[in-house]
Amino acid sequence: QVQLVESGGGLVQAGDSLRLSCAASGRTFSTYFMAWFRQAPGKERDFVAAISGSGGTTNYADTAKGRFTISRDNAKNTVSLQMNSLKPEDTAVYYCAARNYGSVWNIVDTMYPYWGQGTQVTVSS
């Protein structure tokens, strides 16, 4: 089991950077695949990035490649999403999610049983 709490969202200008963090509880955090999803108003929750338990393997949505970086610090039980060159279309509630088996190629939200409460990211033009 793992409990997740996101932080770091806010209001920024297009082109700015933002770093989201997700703090996790659980003694087996390092065994969990972690992912970030986002949900814009009126839209479905979409995959952003995923990372393996060791941090050695990552996967990114096409919209995130080259701009976003997912990382984790298992000693601190955290996973982060560094977002650069933000665009207005990045505006959404960002969620971290966890599952105790699978791979970084699992990009469907229903595959993840554990979720944080979300943090709002708003990018103005």
Q: Please choose, from the candidates 14, 15, 61, the residue with its C-alpha nearest in 3D space to the C-alpha of residue 38.
A: 61
pLDDT score of 1: 79
* Residue 91, helix vs strand vs coil: coil
pLDDT per position as a tens digit, 75-104: 999 999 999 999 999 999 999 999 999 899
Compute the distance between CA of residue 101 and CA of residue 125 in angstroms, rounded to an integer. Answer: 39
**Given a cut of 90, is residue 121 above it in pLDDT?**
yes
Amino acid 45: pLDDT: 97
Q: What is the pLDDT of residue 26?
A: 82
| Phi, psi angle pair for 87, to nearest 5° | -120, 155
Least confident of 22-31, 63-72, 115-124: 22-31
pLDDT tens-digit profile of 16-48?
999 999 999 988 999 999 999 999 999 999 999
Residue 91 near residue 114 (C-beta atoms within 8 A): no
